Structure 1
Amino acid sequence: MSPLSLAAADIDNEIINKILAGDKRQFEQLMRRHNTSLFRLGMSILNNDADVEDVMQTTYINAYQHLASFRQESAFGTWLKRILINECS
């Protein structure tokens, strides 16, 4: 993992810890950090803006509901992308 990726993963994990500690508003920061990459991935699979936006919304809801089960063994972005891919199928 590159130093830049490590720093990004550390930032995500800090935000996740704040959310799990009760600061639910921090989830918006995670969304902002990952919107572009999720949208690009979704477009590569679905090739339709509206469908991608729907899948992204479902992805974020699922991630929020299951955030406590994210083990922080991999990058949050990887976990989020896997949720999106599953939602696309």
Structure 2
Amino acid sequence: MGADAEAEDSGTGRAGDRDVALLASAVRGNQAAFDSLVRRHTPRMYRVALRITGTSAEAEDVVQEAWISAWRGLSGFRSESAVSTWLYRVVTNTALAYIRRRRPTVSLDAALTPDDESRSLLESGLFADTRANPEGRVVRAEEVDAALRAIASLDVSQRVPLVLRELEGLSYEEVAEVLQVSVPALRSRLHRARVALLAKLREQ
């Protein structure tokens, strides 16, 4: 299986079972198993790092640091979490730590470029969870660039949950686990983030 195919086959169900098997093998010292996890999950980890940091160079550094942290923390993985969710948490925490120690002025231009998956998720209407969030609305194809620009300009505390929920398509439960908050707290944070996002969009 090629790297691209492996990267696509890393969600839930059988792919999740394969992740667990690979991680268990990696814990026993199997470097090839860990390398397979790296190939499967690096693309999505890079996307998250890019959306949080805003630059491709920093995103690459973050992903490298995140994999080092993951390798060192293999034995601490708890099986009640999905491997993918655990890795999202590792890369998110690494990106946030990177932001805290970097210079204050960094261009977010790279975070504004929509990749195919982000465009697909935005166009599918993930912003329009109108039952739980009346302020939500479907972001049409022509609005993707504006939406990404607005997301990138938000405070990081609002940007991160939007990246995970709206751009990566994680469930509320998964995002809450990544950010280590309760689901009600996450919904409240997302509500405020969506309100701020719509305000940014109206300014454009």
TM-score by length of 1: 0.89
Aligned residues: 86
Superposed counterparts of 1:35-74, under 5 Å: 35-74=42-81
TM-score by length of 2: 0.40
Q: In the TM superposition, what is the alpha-carbon distance from 1:14 to its structure 2 partner?
A: 0.6
Partner of 2:130: none
Partner of 2:93: 86
Q: SS at the partner of 2:57?
A: helix
Letter in 2 for 1:49: S
Q: In the TM superposition, what is the alpha-carbon distance from 1:29 to its structure 2 partner?
A: 0.3
Output the CA distance in 1 between the equivalents of 2:29 and 2:91: 25
Q: Does 1:26 align with 2:33?
A: yes
Letter in 2 for 1:16: L
Output the CA distance in 1 between the equivalents of 2:55 and 2:92: 15
Q: In the TM superposition, what is the alpha-carbon distance from 1:84 to its structure 2 partner?
A: 1.0
Identity of aligned residues (%): 34
Q: SS at the partner of 1:5?
A: coil
Output the CA distance in 2 between the equivalents of 1:70 and 1:33: 18
Runs in 1 of length 4+ with deviation above 2 angstroms?
A: none
Output the CA distance in 2 between the equivalents of 1:39 and 1:87: 12
Q: SS at the partner of 1:22?
A: coil
Output the CA distance in 2 between the equivalents of 1:88 and 1:40: 11
Structure 1 spans left out of the alignment, 5+ residues:
none
Q: In the TM superposition, what is the alpha-carbon distance from 1:46 to its structure 2 partner?
A: 1.2
Q: In the TM superposition, what is the alpha-carbon distance from 1:78 to its structure 2 partner?
A: 0.8
- What per-residue deviation string (whole Å, max 9, x for no partner) do you get for residues 24-65 of structure 1? 222110000001111111111112111000000010000000
Q: Which has the higher helix share?
A: 1
Higher gyration radius (CA): 2
Q: In the TM superposition, what is the alpha-carbon distance from 1:74 to its structure 2 partner?
A: 1.2
